[in-house]
Each structure stands twice: as structure tokens, then as C-alpha cells.
Amino acid sequence: MIHPSAIVENGAIIGSNTNIGAFSYLGSNVVLGDNINIFPHVIIDGHTKIQDNANIYPNATIGMAPQDYKYKDEITYIEIGKNCMIREHVTIHLGTKSGNSITRIGDNCFLMVGSHVAHDCSIGNNVILINQAALAGHVIVDDFAIIGGLSGVKQHVRIGKHAYIAGMTAVEMDILPYGVVKGVRRCYLTGVNIKGLRQRGFAKEEIHLIRDIYMEIFDGPSIEIPIRAESLQKKYADNIKINTLLKFILDHPERHLCLPNEESIIK
């Protein structure tokens, strides 16, 4: 059903059983899947594709130009996966040619009120952005990560699988898979995201091993972290979960990681 007051430009593609609420706007290059519910006063523009079963709440704005001076109205994209919940006042911007030309959000993601996904971000599956969380351009967020309310993530930061960022945290460095970080001025690593891993079905032994690996990784100068990770990778070559952690480090050994401080339980 399309409300009579909604504007749907010629060329927009709307799947079956998809509802468009009052005073909403769909641009000519928008593609919506099946069983999507667009509430009133939603704007979706640009080359934006949203897969099935999304719920998009009032005043969400998707597909507007990126906040980047280099952007000159080039054709760039947004892709949003299945079963996503996008709440009021969320903003998701198009990619840029100087980036990957696409902003991606995976399946089963929950973007709470006022959260922001900037140009060229890549968000995995089952990610949660809590109220007013903001991702700057080119941020990569892996599956099952949770970004706390009022947190800000700097450009190009990588956030690993199952990581948890506490509310009002300023994230400037990469966050390891399974980690918990917090810090209003500059975040630091406080330990392993034990609660989150339990909720995702990790066994007690697996969690203990991850914590042990954390302690080994940070047992020494930070400049030698990739060396220690490489040694551990040989030892745990057959352990998929541990390799997720070590590969995160070794894929980009030149990047700075969010480190523990003296209060952390892993030092």
C-alpha cells in the first residue's frame, strides 16, 4: 500500500507487500524488497537498495549525499540487507568515488534513534547501533558488534566481531574481536566481551581461551603485537574463533589497536 500523500518517483521499484507511509519520499533509483514497512515522513533517495523485511521509522533519511567535500554528485550506492530495523532520525549516506562507492549494511541490523552511518562504511550482520551512535566515513564493523549510545567512531576504524563499545565512548583505534572498550575522551580496552559471547553461544572454555590469548597479545610492547599474533596463529591454526582475532591483527599490522590501560583486567 502506498499512502496517497507519499511521493514515489518514476523508476523506483517496490516489492510485494511493501507499505509506504504518509508524506514519505522514494527517489527514482530506489529499490525496495518485499514486506518492507516505511513509516510516515521517511526519505529514501539515491541509488539505494533495501532488501526484504525492513522497518524504517519516521524521519529516517537514507541515500542523501555524503558529507565529503570531494563528492561531486557521482553515482554511488547504498545496500541494506534483510530484516533491518532503522529507527527515527537515522541517517545513512551514499558512498564516495574516493572510497568504495558504496555504503553497506548487512542483515538483521538494528540502528536505533538518531544513529549515523557515514559514506563508505561497511557494517556486517547482526550489528546494533544504540541511540545517537555515529560512524565516520570508511568505518568497518564486523558481525554482532554493538556500538553504545552517543559513541563516536573515527574514520577508517575497524571494529571486530562480537566487540562491545560502551556508551559515550570516543573510538580512535581499531577494536579487536571479542573486546570491550570504553572511554569518554579516548577509549581503552577493558577486557573480553564475556556477556556478549555467552549470549552468542560461546562455550566457557572458548571464552577462557580468548581471554588467555588477549593476555598473551598484550604481554609486552605494543609495537610487537603483530609478532606475538603471528606466533599464536601458528599454534592455533585450526581454531576458527582464535584465528578471527589473530587475522584481525595480521591483516593490517600497521594499524594502531585500542590498548588496555592499568585498570584493565587483561594486563
State the average pLDDT over residues 255-260.
94
Distances (CA, A) of 134 to 23, 88, 117, 131, 251: 26, 14, 6, 9, 25
Give dist(CA 187, CA 73) in Å, integer: 35
Distances (CA, A) of 77 to 45, 98, 100: 10, 13, 9
Count of CB atoms situated within 10 Å of the CB of 235: 12
**Closest CA relative to residue 151, chosen from 188, 183, 105:** 183
**Closest CA relative to residue 157, chosen from 114, 186, 192:** 186
Residues 6+ apart with CB under 8 A from 60: 39, 42, 43, 86, 87, 88, 89, 90, 91
Mind listing the pLDDT tens digit for each residue in 36-65?
999 999 999 999 999 999 999 999 999 999
Alpha-carbon torsion, ordered 247, 249, 255, 261, to 10 deg: 150
Contact 91, 117 (CB under 8 A): yes
Contact 164, 149 (CB under 8 A): no
Return the domain boundaries, the chain: 7-138, 198-251
Check residues 98 and 229 and name the one with the higher pLDDT. Answer: 229
- Chain-centre distance for alpha carbon 148: 11
DSSP 223: G
Quote the pLDDT of residue 266. 62
Q: Is the pLDDT of residue 5 over 70?
A: yes
Mind listing the pLDDT tens digit for each residue in 77-92?
999 999 999 999 999 9
Mind listing the pLDDT tens digit for each residue in 19-39?
999 999 999 999 999 999 999
Give dist(CA 110, CA 44) in Å, integer: 18
pLDDT category at 131 given cuts 50, 70, 90 is: very high
Give dist(CA 105, CA 17) in Å, integer: 22
Quote the pLDDT of residue 185. 74
DSSP 256: P
> CATH number for the 7-138 domain, one of 2.60.15.10, 3.40.50.300, 3.40.50.150, 2.160.10.10?
2.160.10.10
Mind listing the pLDDT tens digit for each residue in 146-189?
999 999 999 999 999 999 999 999 999 999 999 999 988 778 99
Residues with active-site annotation: 119-120, 137
C-alpha cell at 211: 581471554
DSSP per position, 192-209: E-HHHHHHTT--HHHHHH
Mind listing the pLDDT tens digit for each residue in 64-80?
999 999 999 999 999 99
Q: SS3 helix, strand, coil % of the chain, rounded to 5?
A: 15, 25, 55
pLDDT category at 243 given cuts 50, 70, 90 is: very high
Contact 85, 102 (CB under 8 A): no
Mind listing the pLDDT tens digit for each residue in 198-236?
999 999 999 999 999 999 999 999 999 999 999 999 999
Quote the pLDDT of residue 265. 61
Quote the pLDDT of residue 144. 99
Q: Is the pLDDT of residue 267 over 60?
A: no
pLDDT category at 262 given cuts 50, 70, 90 is: confident
C-alpha cell at 169: 565512548
Quote the pLDDT of residue 260. 92
C-alpha cell at 172: 580512535
Quote the pLDDT of residue 164. 98
